[in-house]
Structure 1
Amino acid sequence: MTRITHPPAQPVAFEPEFVAGVRDIFENKIVFNKVLGLRITDIAAERVSGGLDMRPELVGHFAYNRIHGGVISAALDAMGGLAVMAAIGARHMDEPPAQRLHRFAKLGTIDLRIDYLRPGIGESFLLDAEVLRLGSRVASTRMAFRGADGKLLAAGAGAYIVS
């Protein structure tokens, strides 16, 4: 079996079935992501991006209408996991989409660090994540939480068990 290094040397084009499956898992089957309102805007082997709209349920400081730090942390953690899903999907392109989607069952966070840089104030937020290293057992990621203007509000780093 050929191993794809990460990031892949060549761009990987995911099948529509794989992308739809990842989107369904991330946005619907992981119910907490649905509660937060997380959505995928782009999924590629080397980087994923998403979005989140501010809602009253997500306010952490009522006087400033600031998003709760726990929401930021959870959103970055979810995006890190999504990046790992994409990297695993790219590594196993020789398998059918359904078989690759089953590989996510054992994925879990083992370490997470969040640096809060600026107050999360706004109507919507942008998120992105990339895998720095995809090993056979552990993946390392870097994530960003930005305002709608692209300004970095929080940065994260995570480690995920992949097997």
Structure 2
Amino acid sequence: MSADALLPFIAEVFDQMPFNRLLGLKVTGFSAEQAEVRFAFKPELVGNPVQQILHGGVIASVLDTVGGIMAISSALRRLEQVEHEVLVAKMGKMSTIDMRSDYLRPGRGTEFIATAQVIRSGNKVCVCRMELHNEQGVHIALGTGTYLVG
């Protein structure tokens, strides 16, 4: 099976992760060039009740999730054919090595969109750049993540 044919399966796995479901994350875009995750504002995600803004940990988690999706996609593209068992094994070994989050503006909005692109992908490690915007296009945060993929 080609890597492109596996993209829906990868998105479904991330959509079904209990923590991602708790946050309300939904993979809404996924290609060789970019991954996209969306979620709606809800009171449970607030970090500052006075300002009603997203918790920084929620923002970091979302950036890490979208970066991880992109890293797995990048790793699979290095293979000509991918069997289901290989995909499951690779996803089981994938982990975040390091991630940096830069908080640019308060997390205000009704819907949030996180995107990721690959900066560099190797046999063992993939580096991605992630961004978080609200529904009005306000840039809330950016991140750089390094992922173990091999």
State the TM-score, normalized to the length of structure 2. 0.92
Q: Which residue of 2 aligns with 1:8?
A: none
Look up the match of 2:132.
145
Equivalent position amino acid for 1:139 in 2:
C
* Superposed displacement of residue 101, structure 1: 4.1
1:34 to 17, 21, 28: 21
Question: What does 1:7-156 align with in structure 2 at a 5 Å threshold?
Answer: 14-15=4-5, 18-28=6-16, 30-97=17-84, 99-156=86-143
Once the two structures are TM-superposed, the CA of residue 21 in structure 1 deviates from its matched residue by: 1.4
Task: Report if the CA contact (8 A) 1:21-1:101 is conserved.
Answer: no
SS of 1:83's equivalent in the other structure is helix
CA contact (8 A) 1:92 1:100 kept: no
Stretches of structure 2 that go unaligned for 5 or more consecutive residues are none
1:69 to partner: Cα distance: 0.6
CA-CA distance at 1:33 after TM superposition: 1.1
2:116–2:131 Cα contact (<8 Å) kept: yes
- How much has 1:98 moved relative to structure 2? 5.0
CA contact (8 A) 1:89 1:101 kept: no
Q: Is the 8 A contact 1:22 1:101 kept in 2?
A: no
Query: Using the alignment, how far apart are the partners of 1:110 and 1:126 within structure 2?
Result: 23
Q: Is the 8 A contact 2:11 2:30 kept in 1?
A: no
SS in 1 for 2:109: coil
User: What residue identity is the alignment partner of 2:12?
Assistant: D
What percentage of aligned pairs have identical amino acids?
34
Distance 1:59 1:21, change over 3 A: same
Contact 2:3 2:79 (C-alpha < 8 Å) held by counterparts = no
Letter in 1 for 2:57: G
TM-score normalised per structure 1: 0.85
